[in-house]
Structure 1
Amino acid sequence: MSARLGPKRVLLLEFNEITWTIVEPMLATGKLPTFARLRREGAWASPRSVDLPPHMDPWVTWVTVHTGVERAVHGATVLEQDPSTIKAPRTWDYAVDAGKSVGVFGSISAYPPRAVPGFIVPGTFAPSSATFPRSLEPLQDLNRMQVQVHHRNRRGLSLSGMLSQGIDVLKLGVKPSTCAAIAAQLAREIVEPHQRFRRIAIQPLINYDVFEALYARHRPDYATWHTNHAAHYMHHYWRAMDDSRFTSPCPKDERRKYGDAVEIGYKLCDRLLARAMGLVDDDTILVVASSMGQQPFVNDEYPEGKITLRFKDISSVLRLMGARGVTALTPVMLPQWNVTIPDAVERARVKELWGRAHVVGKTSRSAFITTATGDVLTVTPVCLAEPDPDARYFFPGAPNARPEGYPIHELFAMDTPTTKQGMHHPTGLLMLWGKGIRAGVEIPDTTNLDIAPTLLHLLNIPIPDIMSGRVLSEAWDGSPHRGRVDRMPPERVRAAAQRPAAPAGN
C-alpha cells in the first residue's frame, strides 16, 4: 500500500488524559472489550507530550495536538485564554480552508465558534454559550451550568428550570436511555449520597447523544469529540483504585466509596468508543487520542495529597482589592478562575495584589498563583498539604482589605471528597482503526506533534511547513513516512489562521 491512504473522513475521539497504564490492566481482565478490539484490528502508539512542566497541562497539550506545533509557536498557557493570543491554526481550520466540512465538539480552544460547513460546540469551560449554529446553545448552557455548579458558585436549576432545559436539550438528540440513566443516578444518590461522584459520567452521555445526531445529519469530513470525565476520576480517585504507589494508604471508607470510580470512567469510554465505531464507514478512519496521560500524585510536599481550596466567592476577593473594569469571571478547572480585565494598567495592578497575598498558618507562603494571558488573569489558590483551620490570609496593598486578615473558612471551602490523587504524565494514548489500517501494529517513537500531520494526511490536506511532526504512515503501509510531499505554503497557513467568530443569528 502506498503512503497515501485517502482521502478519508476522520473521526477523532479525545479521551482526555487516558493512559495505557490503566487501559492495559483492564484489557487483561476483559473490562474494555472495545479497546481490545481496536488494539487487535488497528494501529496504536504511546505518543509523548513535547510540552513538559510547567506547561504540561491539557489546555496546552491539546492545542499542540490540534495545531501540530510546540507551545513556543502556538502560545497556549491557560485554559480558554484570550483566543487572539493563540497564534497557530487548528486542524479544523486547515480542513475548512481546504473546502471540507467539520464538526468540532468540546475540543479545547475551539472558542469562539466560527461559521463553518458543519458545527462547532466549544469546550465546557468556554466563557460564553456561543455555538455554531446557535440552535446548539441550550446544550452549551447546560454544560457551562454544570461547571459552575461543580465550583458551587451557582445552584442547580429549579424543577421547572430543569424541565424547560431538558426539553430544549432533548430536541437536540438526547436518547431515552440517557434520560433513564439520569433518573437512575438521581435515585441512587437518595440511597447513597456519596454516589454523586457518578454524575460526572452523565454529561458525556448527553454530549455524545447530541454529537451522534449532529454527525449523522452532517457527515463531516473531519470531526472531533472531547470528554474530560476519565481525567476527573483519575485526579480524584486513583488512590481509591490502587494505592500501591502512594506514600499513604487509602482509608477503608474512601476505598469503599470510590474504589470503582476510575474503572467506571474508563468503561464509559469503552461504551462510547463502541458507539463511535458504529458511525464509521469504509471511507472513515476512527482515531482515539489523549494529548498526554496521568500517573499517581506522589509529592514529598504533599504526603497525604493536596487539599483543594475552592473560592466561596471570588467576587468578594476582587472587591477587597478594589478591582475595576472586570468584564468576565469564568470558572475553569477547579479551583482556577479566569478574571477578564481589559484595561492593561488595572490588570497589572490587580495581578500584583494577587501576587502579594499570602497565608500565615502551619506553613506561611504565597496564597495564589496568577498568570496573565492577554486580557485574562488566571487565578489558582495554592493547595494545602494538611488541614489548617487557623490559617489566615492577608492582602497587602489591597485598599479594602482588613489588616487583621481573613480566616481560611471565610474565603474558601474544602469540600472535595478526596485529596488530589492523579497528576499529569507526558505519555498519552493513540489508536487508529478503519479500512486500510493495519491490524495489531504498534507505532514506536511518537509525540503529540505527530497527530496533526497524520490527520491532515488522511484528509488529503497538504501539511503546513510549520509542523515538525511526522505522518504515522506505519499505521497503513508498514514504514515511516519521511517525505515532505504535499507541504502547505506559508500564505495558506496564514489564511487558515483567520478564524472569525460565527455571526449572530446563525
Structure 2
Amino acid sequence: MTHRKTFILSIDSGCWDYLDPLLAQGRMPNLERLIRQGSRGVLESTMPPITPVAFASFITGLNPGKHGIFDWAVRQGRGFQSASAVSRRGTPFWRYLNAQGIRVGLLNIPMTYPPQPLDGFLIAGIVVPRSARDFTYPRSLLEAIEQRHGPYEVEISRRLALPGNQADPGESADPSIREPGSAAAHGGDPEAYLRAWLEQERRQTDIALELIDEYQVDVLAFNYVSLDRLNHFASCFEHVERALENVDAQIGRFMERFPEANYIIMSDHGSRRIQGAFLLGKWLAEHGYLRYGEQNLRIPRHEVNFVLTRLFQEHYGWRGAGERIARRLLGGLLQLFPPALVEPLWKRLAAQAPDAFAYRFTSRVDWPRTQVYARSPNGPLFINLRGRDEHGWVRPGRQYEAIREAVIADLRRVRDPFTGEPLFRRIYRREELYQGEAAAEAPDIILDPYGSSCDLIVDNSPQAFHFVNRLTRFGDHSHDGLFVLSGPDFARLPGGEHRASILDIPATLLHLYNVPIPENFDGRVLTDLLAADFLRRHPVRTQAADGDGAGPQREYSDEEMAQLTEHLRELGYL
C-alpha cells in the first residue's frame, strides 16, 4: 500500500521575528508558498525551551515530567551524565507509525543517539561522541554515505572557524552582568563557519533525497541546525539571514521533487539576540547560597579526562593507543596528587594550551556549606538535598522549602540592566511545570530568562580553576517557535495566525496516517488546521500507550562521556 509522504522539516531556533522580514522581502519564496497554501502559527516550546527537552517532547509526545529530560544533563545516581536517547523515557512516534506499516527516515534529529532499530533509516543528531561510528541505523549506512559523499560530521566545530571574542567586564549597573566583547577575529573566520554550515545542509539534503527513495520512507523528519548555531555564535546578523535563505532553498528541493506531499515546517524553540550575560554562579555565591572553601574535593574523573583529551588530541595532535595510555596514566596520577601539587601543573599546561582549559571545575565548591547550585546556563537550580545529592545536607521538608522560597524571592528582584525589567519573566517550582513519573528528577527551581537581553553563565568555580572566560554567544533561545502546515491533507488558512504546542506535532503526524493517538500523549491533534474532508474520513481515535518506552540500554565509556561533555561545553550548553 502506498501512503502520501509527509516531510517534517525543522528549522532549529526558527521564529517569526527572524523570518517575517525575509518573507516580506521575498527572500524565502518556498516557505511563502507553503504558507499561502496552508497555515502558519506560533509553536510553543517546552520549558526550558532548549533542544534536548523540546526534541524529547517532539519524539515522544510527552511533557518533560514523563520523558525525564529537563536539560542537557540528567541525574545518574547521585551525579549527572549527558542526556541522550539512553536516558529518554517514552515511546518514539516512529514506533507507532512502523506498527502500521509506515516507514520513517530521521536525519539530524537530536536525542536519537544511540540509534534504535526502526523500519526506515536514522542518522542521529546531537549529541554524538566525536569518535563514534555507530550513529546511523542501519550501522552500514554511514559507510555507504561516506563512499558517496565523503566524511560525514554530525556537528561543525565552531573552534574551526569562529573567532573567540574575548569578553571584557564592561560597565554595568549590576556586577553580575558581563557584556559581549568585540567581534574582532581571533584565530578564526566567521565567513568560513557560515559557508561550512551552508555546505553541510546542502549535502545533508542530497543525502536525504537519496535515502527517501532507497529506503522507500513515507515520513521524513529532518532538522536544519545552522540557524541555531549562527544565532548563538555569529556577531553578524546577516549570517543568520543567509542561513535562513539557504534552508528555504533546501525546502524548495523537497517541494519540487514531492509536490503532492504534506509538509510540516516547525522549530523546537525560537531565537533572540542578546546584549549581555548574567553570571548566575557568581550571584549565588554573593548571596550566600553557593560557597567556596579551601577544602578541595576530588576532581571528577570525566572532568580530568575531558581536559586531557582536548590537550593531547587537539592541541598536541596525539592520537592512538599511546595517547590513550598516557592520558589514563596522567589522569590517574592527577587524581592521587594533593591539590597543592596539581594546581601549578594545571596552570603550566593552561599557559601552553588555553583553549584546552575552557572548562569549569566544581571541585572547590564547599558542598557542606552550599545550599543551592546550578549545573548549566539553561535555568535549572538544585537545592543541595540530603539523600539525593552527592554531598547533600539540606533536609527535605521545611528546610528545603525555606531555602527554595528565599532563592526565588531574591531572584525576582534581579533586573535586566538593559531594559530595567525583571531579568526572569517567571521563576517556577518544579511541581508547577511538570507532571509524570519522572517529575521528581526535575530541578527544584527553573528560571525563565528567555525574554530578557541576557544569556546566563554558570561559573561554579574560583578563578584559579577558570582560566578561560570568553563570551562568544550573541543570541539565545526564546519560547515561541514556528510552524507551517501545508499539503493536501491540511486546511488552507493563509490569513490567520494560530498557536500550537510542540507536543501537538507528533499527535497530528500520527493522525495523518490514521494511527490512533496514545492515551499518554500530552498534545492534541490540530483538527482545526486539517482539511475538512480528511477529518470527516478520519476521526481522531486513541489507543493504549506502548509500555516499552525505555531508551536503548547502552552505557557510555569514559572517553565518550568526555567527548559528549566537551561538545556541549563548546556549544555553551554546560
Question: TM-score if structure 1 supplies the norm length?
Answer: 0.62
Q: Deviations over 1:322-380 (max 9, x none)?
A: 5447898599xxxxxxxxxxxxxx9xxxxx9726459xxxxxx9896499999xxxxxx
Is 1:423 matched with 2:476? Answer: yes
TM-superposed CA distance for 1:262, in Å, is: 1.2
1:456 to 507, 510, 515: 510
Task: Work out whether residues 354 and 368 of structure 1, in 8 Å CA contact, stay in contact via their aligned partners in 2.
Answer: no
Is 1:104 matched with 2:100? Answer: no
TM-superposed CA distance for 1:457, in Å, is: 0.4
TM-superposed CA distance for 1:235, in Å, is: 2.0
Opposite residue 289 of structure 1, the aligned amino acid is M
The aligned counterpart of 2:271 is 294
Is 1:474 matched with 2:528? Answer: yes
The aligned counterpart of 1:435 is 488
> In 1, Cα distance between the equivalents of 2:99 and 2:16?
35
2:22 to 15, 22, 26: 26
> In 2, Cα distance between the equivalents of 1:285 and 1:118?
18
The aligned counterpart of 1:354 is 362
1:457–1:329 CA distance, 2 compared to 1 (3 A): farther
TM-superposed CA distance for 1:485, in Å, is: 3.9
Identity over aligned pairs, percent? 21
The aligned counterpart of 1:215 is 212
Matches within 5 A, 1:184-199: 193-198=189-194, 199=196
Task: Work out whether residues 84 and 114 of structure 2, in 8 Å CA contact, stay in contact via their aligned partners in 1.
Answer: no
Compare 290-299 and 465-474 and name the one that shifted more. 290-299
Opposite residue 215 of structure 1, the aligned amino acid is I
Opposite residue 435 of structure 1, the aligned amino acid is P
Matches within 5 A, 1:223-262: 223-237=220-234, 258-262=236-240
The aligned counterpart of 2:252 is 274
Opposite residue 203 of structure 2, the aligned amino acid is I
> In 2, Cα distance between the equivalents of 1:224 and 1:261?
25
TM-superposed CA distance for 1:278, in Å, is: 2.5
1:135 to 115, 133, 140: 140
Opposite residue 487 of structure 1, the aligned amino acid is T
1:149–1:485 CA distance, 2 compared to 1 (3 A): same
Is 1:489 matched with 2:544? Answer: yes
1:368–1:425 CA distance, 2 compared to 1 (3 A): closer
Is 1:65 matched with 2:120? Answer: no
TM-superposed CA distance for 1:428, in Å, is: 0.9
Task: Work out whether residues 97 and 495 of structure 1, in 8 Å CA contact, stay in contact via their aligned partners in 2.
Answer: no
Task: Work out whether residues 472 and 481 of structure 1, in 8 Å CA contact, stay in contact via their aligned partners in 2.
Answer: no
Task: Work out whether residues 61 and 523 of structure 2, in 8 Å CA contact, stay in contact via their aligned partners in 1.
Answer: yes
Opposite residue 209 of structure 1, the aligned amino acid is D
> In 1, Cα distance between the equivalents of 2:3 and 2:22?
34
Q: Deviations over 1:281-331 (max 9, x none)?
A: 53x3111110211122255748xxxxxxxxxxxxxxxxx955447898599
1:48–1:99 CA distance, 2 compared to 1 (3 A): same
The aligned counterpart of 1:90 is 92
Point out where structure 2 has 5 or more consecutive residues left out of the alignment.
73-81, 163-184, 280-296, 310-334, 336-359, 367-371, 383-387, 390-453, 555-574
Task: Work out whether residues 236 and 421 of structure 1, in 8 Å CA contact, stay in contact via their aligned partners in 2.
Answer: yes
> In 2, Cα distance between the equivalents of 1:356 and 1:37?
56
1:105–1:291 CA distance, 2 compared to 1 (3 A): same
Opposite residue 271 of structure 2, the aligned amino acid is Q
1:485–1:194 CA distance, 2 compared to 1 (3 A): closer
Opposite residue 135 of structure 1, the aligned amino acid is S
> In 2, Cα distance between the equivalents of 1:120 and 1:327?
33
1:494–1:413 CA distance, 2 compared to 1 (3 A): same
Task: Work out whether residues 271 and 476 of structure 2, in 8 Å CA contact, stay in contact via their aligned partners in 1.
Answer: yes
> In 2, Cα distance between the equivalents of 1:478 and 1:298?
46
Opposite residue 354 of structure 1, the aligned amino acid is T
> In 2, Cα distance between the equivalents of 1:61 and 1:206?
25
1:479–1:301 CA distance, 2 compared to 1 (3 A): farther
> In 1, Cα distance between the equivalents of 2:68 and 2:209?
32
RMSD: 4.3
Q: Give the secondary structure class of the aligned counterpart of 2:118.
A: coil
Aligned residues: 365
TM-superposed CA distance for 1:96, in Å, is: 2.2
The aligned counterpart of 1:504 is none
Q: Give the secondary structure class of the aligned counterpart of 2:485.
A: strand
> In 2, Cα distance between the equivalents of 1:147 and 1:481?
45
> In 1, Cα distance between the equivalents of 2:531 and 2:110?
31
1:498–1:488 CA distance, 2 compared to 1 (3 A): farther
Task: Work out whether residues 473 and 479 of structure 1, in 8 Å CA contact, stay in contact via their aligned partners in 2.
Answer: no
Task: Work out whether residues 443 and 474 of structure 1, in 8 Å CA contact, stay in contact via their aligned partners in 2.
Answer: no
Question: TM-score if structure 2 supplies the norm length?
Answer: 0.55
> In 1, Cα distance between the equivalents of 2:274 and 2:237?
16
1:205–1:48 CA distance, 2 compared to 1 (3 A): same
1:479–1:98 CA distance, 2 compared to 1 (3 A): closer
Q: Give the secondary structure class of the aligned counterpart of 2:525.
A: coil
1:355–1:47 CA distance, 2 compared to 1 (3 A): farther
TM-superposed CA distance for 1:443, in Å, is: 5.8
> In 1, Cα distance between the equivalents of 2:259 and 2:460?
60
> In 2, Cα distance between the equivalents of 1:222 and 1:497?
23
